A and B are shown apart, each in its own frame.
Chain A
Amino acid sequence: MTKRQIAHLIREQRPEPPEGYEAKIERALDGLMREEQAMKRRYKVSTLLLAAALVVLALAGAALAASELKLFSAPHGSLVSSEGIEDRVLTGLGSAENELAQLTVEEALYDGKTIAMLISVAPQNPEKDAILGYADSWLDTKDVYNVDIRETENGGTQLSLLGRRDGKRIITCGARLLVNGEEVEEMAADSSEDEEGREQIWLRYALEAFEDDPVIHCELRSAVGVWDDYAGRQWLSVSFDLARVQDERTFMIVPMGDAKGERFEILRGYLTFARAMTYMTLDYSYIQAPEEDMGIDLRLFNGDGERIDAHSGEQIELVGNDWRLIDEMEAVEEIPETIILEAKVIGEDRTLGRVTCRLVETDSIDLPDAPEPETPHLTYLTPKGSWVSDRMRLLFVDIHETTGLVIVTFTCDGAETAEKIRFTLLDADGQPVELKYMLDSEGNPAGQYALLDPYDGYYKVFTEVRDSSALSGQIGIEARIEGEETPLARFEGVVTNAFSATGDLNKAVLVALPVDPNLVFTVGDDLCYHTRPNCGQFGLSYAPMGVTLAEAVNMGKTACPRCCEDAE
């Protein structure tokens, strides 16, 4: 069957919508049109009356801001800064209810990137029902709940909620925010129950970038239902518009004098001061020292040396050979003229230096894009000799040139062996290759854990070498059971860069990969690439059969499903 015939069949056999579908769409359209008519009627109020109403509303808002705002009073500390923006908080944004509970969006603030809000969920029958603490906060209130605590087989603790001590029925609620129809990420949450039995929930969401629109349309959805009746949950939804507090200012970070400290250098960066948050994007280079297992933390101070605290988990990306830090911090009352960036070794009371920078106001942020990783960043070990021993079989060894990540895939005679197995990589001279941070206090390889890949049924060990250039030519890989003198097995292989191999790509990959003649590879046509350097997925799982390297590269690439799916 030709491709053209298949394409024809796809069109010919298109499924028809089920009965009732067209009527459903008509009803939806009808509802929208009616709603629009109602809106139009409302807008026919005379300008004078409308203006008067707005004045009254504004006054009401101001009165509430002065005395009753709760947005900045989350039980464990405000999720956003509050200085000078109380009057920008919108209140009474709407509510929805069903027979179990009423959802109300009480207060909200939007600064172009961050949305902070306070919502409440109140039981309709507080004598009989109670709302379950949001985001597992019930774990902190064991005096209210009956909780079963058990030790698990692997030494962990399992907590199970059994019910409320006062016998009330438990109602659960959730919270999801859609902005202009797209779900946004919840960055922080806090909650508490007030004296009337209402669950008050403080939420902070972040858009991916500053939104240009002065007004965003929000929809807050909450699945409300009886705790042990999962299927019976119903969605409550409140829609509202949020006007942006549009007075953020962006500054370029310009180092004054030397931009370097000990093994780090500030390359470029921007700070955006908004009313609810301060946002920083900073590119820097850093050479890790052996004792700096966790790397460095770049901390921000104003010119007077006062720390500007970070609000949420930072995000660090690899940009070429350098690093990009994306961080959110508390808002500042006064924008400083200069700032200080301090590089502190994580886990130690030691700094690598401080760089003083001045801030230059700018209209735009101009940072180089994080480049697509170059394709030849993964190499493989081609077996030299047998990779099969009495108790184990080595399947693949993947080496990530940029980060030094090494993934060893193997099978062995049981889970117990797999758990205790440790690998040492030996360079061309037979010397152990230094691992980046997988050494115990005595300098022995540690921190290697065999993970069973549920998909393939193989074990994988992830480890990192300090200098991947040590892994070239013929290298050895030694497997040892922890605590035993004699190695379990020792294998040898030649480091092979599949992409630099000449000739037939298929051969290059298949030579590098299969060591077990009984192992069947599905030969598909996916040529994977990665957007995240530390993704453990194979770079080239399956290569096209019988094409040359040049042809394969030209035919396009398929994003790695593990690390690239979200990006798409």
Chain B
Amino acid sequence: MDALPTEERKALFAETVREREKSLYRVALVMLRRNADAEDAVCDAVEAAWRHIDRLRDDRALPAYLMTCTVNACKNALRRRRRERPVDDLALYAGAADSPVPVWGYLMGLPEKYRLPLALRYGEDMPVEEIARALRLPRGTVSTRLSRGLKILRAQMEKEVEGRD
């Protein structure tokens, strides 16, 4: 049986979860688009991360590890949705509704392959390498999706602005 986590490791884990909980929530929200599901997914991810913390060789990787667990928990939730019931027609997240340019409203309307890298890179300031690890994608694919995602987002926002004019 592996050694149980030390007191220091336990404290570090709890501290990192508290530090990153908002980021984890946002990532889960971007993937699942429902508040309640996002909260549940983060709880599942925290639990999974804790149960398998012995796999982590370097505690400095804990934030990235938590993010990977969150992405996995969300994927499980999405798989479950597909199996259990049809995905609801979700209302898009309005974001900062009082903003003249509610960018999160547009962002949440993008396909997941674009909105997730965008939210991680620009919302959470994660380096491309780290995003690639969390999403298990080649670095080049992440870069391409970021570039295209931004392009699509910009086009949609400009279209909206033109429509208003």
A residues near B73, Cβ cutoff 8 Å: 181
A residues near B107, Cβ cutoff 8 Å: 10
CA distance A183 to B81 in the complex (A): 13
> Out of B102, B140, B157, which one reaches A1, CB within 8 Å?
B157
A residues near B95, Cβ cutoff 8 Å: 13, 15
> Out of A9, A24, A28, A40, which one reaches B103, CB within 8 Å?
A9
Q: Contact between A13 and B102 (Cβ–Cβ < 8 Å)? A: yes
Q: Is B12 located at the chain interface by the 8 A CB criterion?
A: no
A residues near B154, Cβ cutoff 8 Å: 1, 3, 6
CA distance A197 to B147 in the complex (A): 59
How many chain B residues have a CB neighbour from A under 8 Å?
60
Q: Contact between A24 and B43 (Cβ–Cβ < 8 Å)? A: yes
Question: A6-B150, A17-B25, A21-B39 in contact; A33/B10 too (CB < 8 A)?
Answer: yes
A53 to chain B, nearest CB (A): 14
Q: Contact between A22 and B150 (Cβ–Cβ < 8 Å)? A: no
CA distance A319 to B118 in the complex (A): 35
Q: Contact between B46 and A32 (Cβ–Cβ < 8 Å)? A: yes
A residues near B101, Cβ cutoff 8 Å: 1, 9
Q: Contact between B104 and A10 (Cβ–Cβ < 8 Å)? A: yes
CA distance A82 to B147 in the complex (A): 54
Within 8 A of A (CB), among B76-123: 76, 79-80, 83-85, 93, 95-96, 99, 101-104, 107, 113, 118-119, 121-123
CA distance A32 to B46 in the complex (A): 9
B residues near A28, Cβ cutoff 8 Å: 43, 46-47
> Out of A7, A15, A39, A176, which one reaches B122, CB within 8 Å?
A7
CA distance A558 to B114 in the complex (A): 11
> Out of B14, B35, B103, which one reaches A29, CB within 8 Å?
B14
A residues near B151, Cβ cutoff 8 Å: 3, 525
A506 to chain B, nearest CB (A): 16
CA distance A16 to B25 in the complex (A): 9
Within 8 A of A (CB), among B114-137: 118-119, 121-123, 125, 136-137
B7 to chain A, nearest CB (A): 10
Question: A17-B25, A36-B5, A183-B79 in contact; A25/B42 too (CB < 8 A)?
Answer: yes
B80 to chain A, nearest CB (A): 8
Q: Is A180 located at the chain interface by the 8 A CB criterion?
A: yes
> Out of B29, B76, B83, B153, which one reaches A15, CB within 8 Å?
B29
Q: Is A43 located at the chain interface by the 8 A CB criterion?
A: yes
Q: Is B4 located at the chain interface by the 8 A CB criterion?
A: yes
Q: Contact between A181 and B52 (Cβ–Cβ < 8 Å)? A: yes
Q: Contact between B148 and A525 (Cβ–Cβ < 8 Å)? A: yes
Q: Contact between A25 and B21 (Cβ–Cβ < 8 Å)? A: yes
Q: Is A11 located at the chain interface by the 8 A CB criterion?
A: yes
Q: Contact between B122 and A181 (Cβ–Cβ < 8 Å)? A: no
Q: Contact between A14 and B104 (Cβ–Cβ < 8 Å)? A: yes
CA distance A217 to B1 in the complex (A): 13
Task: For B93, give the chain A residue with the smallest CB separation.
Answer: A15
CA distance A331 to B110 in the complex (A): 48
Task: For B25, give the chain A residue with the smallest CB separation.
Answer: A17
Q: Is A151 located at the chain interface by the 8 A CB criterion?
A: no
CA distance A11 to B122 in the complex (A): 6
User: C-beta contact mask, B20-45 vs A, less than 8 Å → 1, else 0?
Assistant: 01100110010000010001001100
B77 to chain A, nearest CB (A): 10
Q: Which of A32, A33, A525 has the most CB of B within 10 A?
A: A32
CA distance A8 to B154 in the complex (A): 13
Q: Is A568 located at the chain interface by the 8 A CB criterion?
A: yes
A residues near B152, Cβ cutoff 8 Å: 524
Q: Is B69 located at the chain interface by the 8 A CB criterion?
A: yes
B residues near A10, Cβ cutoff 8 Å: 103-104, 107, 118-119, 122-123
> Out of A6, A36, A178, which one reaches B4, CB within 8 Å?
A36
A residues near B69, Cβ cutoff 8 Å: 181
How many chain A residues have a CB neighbour from B under 8 Å?
41
CA distance A24 to B99 in the complex (A): 29
Q: Contact between A17 and B39 (Cβ–Cβ < 8 Å)? A: yes
B residues near A39, Cβ cutoff 8 Å: 4
Q: Contact between B141 and A556 (Cβ–Cβ < 8 Å)? A: yes
B residues near A7, Cβ cutoff 8 Å: 121-122, 150
Q: Is A18 located at the chain interface by the 8 A CB criterion?
A: yes
Q: Is A555 located at the chain interface by the 8 A CB criterion?
A: yes
Q: Contact between B52 and A24 (Cβ–Cβ < 8 Å)? A: no
Q: Is A456 located at the chain interface by the 8 A CB criterion?
A: no
Q: Is A207 located at the chain interface by the 8 A CB criterion?
A: no
A residues near B35, Cβ cutoff 8 Å: 18
CA distance A568 to B17 in the complex (A): 27
Q: Which of B118, B122, B136, B144 has the most CB of A within 10 A?
A: B122
CA distance A9 to B99 in the complex (A): 10
Q: Is A413 located at the chain interface by the 8 A CB criterion?
A: no
B14 to chain A, nearest CB (A): 5
CA distance A16 to B43 in the complex (A): 17
Q: Contact between A556 and B140 (Cβ–Cβ < 8 Å)? A: yes
CA distance A22 to B43 in the complex (A): 10
A residues near B141, Cβ cutoff 8 Å: 556
B3 to chain A, nearest CB (A): 10
User: C-beta contact mask, A33-45 vs B, less than 8 Å → 1, else 0?
Assistant: 1001001100100
CA distance A43 to B14 in the complex (A): 23
B residues near A22, Cβ cutoff 8 Å: 21
> Out of B10, B14, B18, B72, which one reaches A182, CB within 8 Å?
B72
B residues near A568, Cβ cutoff 8 Å: 113, 136-137
CA distance A524 to B111 in the complex (A): 14
B residues near A217, Cβ cutoff 8 Å: 51-52
A residues near B14, Cβ cutoff 8 Å: 29, 33
A residues near B5, Cβ cutoff 8 Å: 36
Q: Contact between A32 and B50 (Cβ–Cβ < 8 Å)? A: yes
Q: Contact residues of A with B, CB < 8 Å?
A: 1, 3, 6-11, 13-18, 21-22, 24-25, 28-29, 32-33, 36, 39-40, 43, 176, 178, 180-183, 217, 223, 230, 524-525, 555-556, 558, 568
A-B pairs with lowest CB-CB distance, top 9: A556-B144, A10-B122, A9-B103, A13-B96, A181-B48, A7-B122, A17-B25, A28-B43, A32-B50
Q: Could you pull out 17 A-B pairs where Cβ atoms are within 8 angstroms?
A: A1-B101, A7-B150, A11-B123, A13-B102, A15-B26, A15-B29, A21-B25, A32-B47, A33-B14, A36-B10, A178-B76, A181-B52, A181-B72, A181-B73, A182-B72, A217-B51, A230-B85
Given A36-B5, A181-B48, A568-B136, 15 new contacts (CB under 8 A): A6-B153, A6-B154, A7-B121, A9-B99, A9-B101, A10-B107, A15-B26, A15-B96, A25-B18, A28-B43, A29-B46, A178-B76, A180-B52, A181-B52, A182-B72
